Every structure is written in C-alpha cells, then in structure tokens.
Amino acid sequence: MREKLGLQYCRHSLSGAAPINKETLEFFGSIGLNIIQGYGMSESTGLTAASVLWRYKWGSVGFALPGTEVSIRRTQEDGTTTECPRAEDIANSHALPEEYQGEICFRGRHIMMGYLANAELGEDHVKQMEDQNRNTIDDCGWLHSGDKGAMDENGFIVITGRYKEILIGAGGENIAPLPIEEAVRLANPAISNCIVIGDGRKYNVMLVTLRTIGATGEFPGTDDLLPQAQYKGIAKLSEAIESKVYREYVQAAITKVNNDAKVCLNANWKIQKFLIMNSDFSIVGGEFTPTLKLKRAFVAQKYHDKIEGLYN
C-alpha cells in the first residue's frame, strides 16, 4: 500500500496547522506510516510541542520541546492564572472532566516580543496593538494560545477545542462543538463535514455536507456521491437532499451522538435539527482557510437564511 501511495521510502511523516483526527493517524500507523504531530503558533516561532517516534501517543500533539514550557492554565476572576491538574489518561479526550482542561499556554525564549504597531497609523492603532499584546502575553510571560486542552502525567498534550469556538446557548451554557462534529463524522461514512450552530440560540442545529466525487478541500466537488456515501440506491447529492430515507440515514448518526453522554454532556449539547447542504465546504467556497480550518463566522453568515429556516 505504501508503494501504491509512492511513500515506500518515507522515513518521517509530519502533520501540522489543521487538526488531524485520531482515526486517520491510526490508519496510516497500521500501514507503517506513523505521523508525528507538531503544534505551535507563529507567535511562538512555530513549533512548541511535538511527538517523536519513540515517545508517542495517538491523538496527542506531543510534549514541550527542550527549552520551552507548556502549561494548561485557567484564568481566575482576578485575572491571574492557575495551572490545571494533569490527567491520568488523555486517550478519550472528549470525555475529560473540565477540571483538567484549560487554555494551552507557552513560555520561553521562543515567544515573540509582541505584535508590532505602526505609529504612522495613529494613536488608536497603537493602543489597539498594546491591548492585543496584553491579552496575548500575560505578566508572567505566558503566551495564551486560545486553544483548550489538557496534559497527562507524562507531559503529553491534547487539544480539546478552541475558546473562540465555544458556543454559549441562550441559557448561558458553554458547548464545545468540535467533539460533537467529530463524533457525527465518525458515526456515518457518508458525512464529509459538519458544523454545529447554536451561539445565543435555544437549541443547536447542524449543517451537514456529504462526500462527493471531486471534493478536495480546495474544491467543493460534483453532484455525484462517492461510493461510501451512496445509500439505498441514492448516488446523487441532489437526490439525497430530497430523500426522506437518506435524511433518516443521517439522522441516525446524529441521534447516536446525541445519546452518547461522553460527547453530549447534557440536553443543551444535543442537535435538534440538521440540513444537508447542496455542496461540500471548500477553500473556493470560502468555508475553509488555506490550511483547511473551518471559518465558523463565515459559514454562519454565508448560510444565514438556511440557518434561520431551521429555527423558524
């Protein structure tokens, strides 16, 4: 299989930027290609944490590199931060108790001095950059990544969400969409991408895309479903959208996730309605960044009318 992929001479495989799911890592590992994950930010001069082949855990982005510090921290009411306790096991990151989760923070000589302001752009711009610097690097030198995660007793780090992506429902409950979306994708081989909508809403809805021929991440693909997305003789995306049988097929996956207490912690996390989209998300369509990260705000704006239709 490695020869068919042209990777028979590959000695090191690396993954960074966009998230990669555990199942993908396990598949490539099963054919002898252990993908090492790297993690960091431009603000931390790139890499801060990584795995190596002799020190590795599935789904973890690795451990702090020599000369750097990584800490899982939670901000208190007085603005100070405290370190979260280390988890005994991070294998099932979706089910980690909240006490172990916090913001992933970096510290060391690899951290930037700050964002550069241009005085020629005026005092307001300079003040904005100063505020941004204070919000990014605290008084103790910790760079706040904005990523939510946990660390185990051996120093392995796992990312469990993104604080900017946390949904706050109408009742004030905090909902992490990433575990729900990942679980729905894994529950049905026909589903390519999905996004939970529910910020400020009384309940959550989901936009779902199906796997189609020609969909690459850069391009949205055609109306023809890939073999693994075909069901009960339905081979076209347009047919699937109109088919009650196909909608029930997708609903079964969502119901399975709704009933999984490790993913949907309570009723506020559950998906009440969904919509199959008429094309996959893509860079060309604007839903993905060039590194294939989902642009949630853009999706919510682009499909505003469809989303309102689910609530109305």
How far does CA 229 lie from the centroid of its chain? 23
> Pairing relation of β-strands 68-75 and 13-15?
unpaired
- The residue-averaged pLDDT of 96-109 equals 92
Place of tokens 């510290």: 107
pLDDT one-digit tens code per residue, 192-236: 999 999 988 999 999 999 999 999 999 999 999 999 999 999 999
What are the structure tokens assigned to 214, written together?
Answer: 């020609």
Among residues 66, 64, 77, 68, the alpha carbon closest in space to that of 149 is found at: 64
Least confident of 45-59, 60-74, 228-242: 45-59
Instruction: Name the pLDDT band for 128 (thresholds 50, 70, 90).
Output: very high
pLDDT one-digit tens code per residue, 9-35: 998 899 887 778 788 888 999 999 999
Q: Is the model's pLDDT at 92 over the cut of 80?
A: no
Q: Kindly provide the b/e burial profile for residues 64-77, where b requires at least 16 CB atoms within 10 angstroms of the residue's own CB.
A: bbeebebbbbeeee
Contact 277, 211 (CB under 8 A): no
Q: How many Å apart are CA 147 and CA 163, to the nearest integer?
A: 6
What one-character-per-residue DSSP string does 208-246 give?
Answer: EEE-BTTB-SSSB--SBBPGGG-BTTB-BHHHHHH-HHH
How many C-alpha atoms does 102 have within 13 Å on its Cβ side?
21
Q: How many Å apart are CA 234 and CA 254, to the nearest integer?
A: 20
Residue ranges of domains in the chain, CATH in brackets: 8-104+145-161 (2.30.38), 167-311 (3.30.300.30)
User: One-letter amino acid identity for 29?
Assistant: G
